[in-house]
Amino acid sequence: MAQSGSLIAFDLYGTLLSTESISKRLSEILGSQETGTQVAASWRKYQLEYSWRLTCMESYDDFYNITRNALRHALSEAAVRLEEDQIDQLMDEYDHLSTFPDVTPALQNLTKRPDIKTVIFSNGTKQMVSNSVFRSQDLSPHASLFTDLVTVEDVKAYKPAPAVYEHLAVSTGTQMGDIWLISANPFDIVGAGDYGLKTAWIDRNGRGWEDAAVPRLRPRIIGKSLDEVIKAILDDLSK
Amino acid sequence: MAQSGSLIAFDLYGTLLSTESISKRLSEILGSQETGTQVAASWRKYQLEYSWRLTCMESYDDFYNITRNALRHALSEAAVRLEEDQIDQLMDEYDHLSTFPDVTPALQNLTKRPDIKTVIFSNGTKQMVSNSVFRSQDLSPHASLFTDLVTVEDVKAYKPAPAVYEHLAVSTGTQMGDIWLISANPFDIVGAGDYGLKTAWIDRNGRGWEDAAVPRLRPRIIGKSLDEVIKAILDDLSK
């Protein structure tokens, strides 16, 4: 039996949803796979950088805006110009992302466990996250699994700010020690772990844990797929 | 005449001092220029990432430690192993960095202006910054130009946290509107500008301002060399 009051929170972008299709779309628009891959990587880099820098500055702009601004930075760095409607198209891709291949079977297994409460927990705006979950061809069939979409918009700070994890605990009415966070993003794992959540890291590349921002903070569980990670969490909860 | 009470604060790493020699030393140790350059770039990336993430987490570890931890991350990512004494050697490089070629003439010009108060303002620890300034063959002859070495160690947060810029103003007894910050690092320019400092950005690559973390925040002055930037500041101060 799952412990009463326990919760699994899923990070969304890079954890359930792959941004690979954005990279492909960029390559198509730019007419070069190399430039597309490069701009996509640099876009993601600036998206995260901006989220951290704004949080350091005790400032806030929503995830849609910083994602769009980060794209401009990445394009400028690659000396590429796009029209506004092409930028709109790229931003629209966020509403139609695919899940990673290991996600569907893992979520299917979880539907057999109605005793486990699950939520999405994302940096995105409510609008982005809602669109991403309900319009994704892969993820929307599982949308009913999630009892809530928790975003950072209410607290106006980004992961890994303590206020963000506090908001997750408060808005789900769960003690932080009863929350499992599943993320493929090391910065999220370290931030949640520092705040006292239990953390499970998806290591899809199988490289092992390399992050050393806070060397003592490592994920409680490491698995190569969502299925592996969820099984390990369910094992832990049944103890 | 400079306005009474005005101050020029210089960022250190990447602004006055180039970390190019670290990249060369890495290439020597690793026996490959390509791997050396790649690890050096990724080292710098994680050094900044860690400084931002810890500040978001309202946590702190000093710049020496996060720099060392970031190196481990970069080496692991490149699947390279180094011995502890090799890592020590690389960290020691911070005590013997060269200045960028445009720095010496600019600082020489500034010695003719004893009415201008100047300080170093860095993320580094007091020990690192002191070593970097007094042991650098290029920079140590100009050490007497700086009336203070202001570091973030006292406030236990990193740039661009407001507390860091507040600390600069308080510890130098200068109103923030009377402080010019010179930096080649866009995140520092944006943070200082948001806090009300006057900002001058050194654009050594001549790419122009690309940062879009806060689109309305742009440097007050942009110059391709320290000399250009200082001349523009002195012009402004003489108005």
Contact B227, B100 (CB under 8 A): no
Report chain A's C-alpha Rg in angstroms.
Answer: 18
CA distance B74 to chain A (A): 9
Contact B79, B11 (CB under 8 A): no
Nearest CA in chain A to B47: A213
Structure tokens at A57: 């500055």
Residue from A50, A56, A77, A158 whose CB has the most chain B CBs within 10 Å, to mutate? A56
CATH number of A20-94: 1.20.1630.10, 3.40.367.20, 1.10.150.240, 3.40.50.720? 1.10.150.240
**Residues A13, A120: Cα–Cα separation, whole Å:** 10
Q: Tens digit of pLDDT per residue, chain A (239 long)?
A: 455 679 999 999 999 999 988 999 999 999 999 999 999 999 999 999 999 999 999 999 999 999 999 999 999 999 999 999 999 999 999 899 999 999 999 999 898 888 899 999 999 999 999 999 999 999 999 999 999 999 999 999 999 999 999 999 999 999 999 999 999 999 999 999 999 999 999 999 999 999 999 999 999 999 999 999 999 999 999 88
Contact A204, A224 (CB under 8 A): yes
Say what the pLDDT of residue A1 is.
47
Residues of chain A with C-beta less than 8 angstroms from the C-beta of B74:
none
Contact B221, B192 (CB under 8 A): no
**Residues A97, A100: Cα–Cα separation, whole Å:** 10
Say what the pLDDT of residue A111 is.
87
Nearest CA in chain B to A70: B212
**Residues B146, B117: Cα–Cα separation, whole Å:** 8
The verdict on a CB contact (< 8 Å) between B162 and A49 is: no
Residue B173: CB atoms within 10 Å: 9
Contact A150, A167 (CB under 8 A): yes
Structure tokens at B96: 């013997």
**Helix H or strand E segment including B59:** none
pLDDT at B233 over 80: yes
Q: Which residues contact A104 (CB under 8 A, 6 or more apart)?
A: A138, A142
The verdict on a CB contact (< 8 Å) between B161 and A53 is: no
Q: Which residues of A touch B (CB under 8 A)?
A: 45-46, 48-50, 52-59, 61, 66, 69-70, 72-73, 76-77, 157-162, 187, 190-191, 194, 207, 210-215
Tell me which residue in B76, B207, B213 faces A50 most closely, judged by beta carbons.
Answer: B213
- Four-residue CA torsion sign, B86, B91, B96, B101: positive
The verdict on a CB contact (< 8 Å) between B52 and A56 is: yes
CATH class of B20-95: mainly alpha
The verdict on a CB contact (< 8 Å) between A53 and B50 is: no
Report chain B's C-alpha Rg in angstroms.
Answer: 18
Measure CA of the first residue to CA of the last residue in chain B; give whole Å: 8
Across the beta sheet with B221-223, the strand order is B148-151, B117-122, B7-10, B179-183, B198-202, B221-223
The per-residue pLDDT of chain B, averaged, comes to: 95
Indicate the fold that domain A7-18+97-237 takes in CATH: Rossmann fold (3.40.50)
Task: Choose among A62, A58, A50: nearest CA to A153.
Answer: A62
Task: Choose among B148, B134, B140, B149: nearest CA to B104.
Answer: B140
Task: Choose among A225, A215, A55: nearest CA to A123.
Answer: A55
pLDDT in tens, B192-214: 999 999 999 999 999 999 999 99
Q: Which residues contact B40 (CB under 8 A, 6 or more apart)?
A: B19, B22, B23, B26, B74
Residues of chain A with C-beta less than 8 angstroms from the C-beta of B207:
77
Contact A172, A150 (CB under 8 A): yes
Boundaries of every domain in chain B: 7-18+97-237, 20-95
ipTM comes to: 0.96
Number of A–B residue contacts, CB under 8 Å: 101
What percentage of residues in chain B have a pLDDT greater than 90? 90
Residue A190: CB atoms within 10 Å: 29
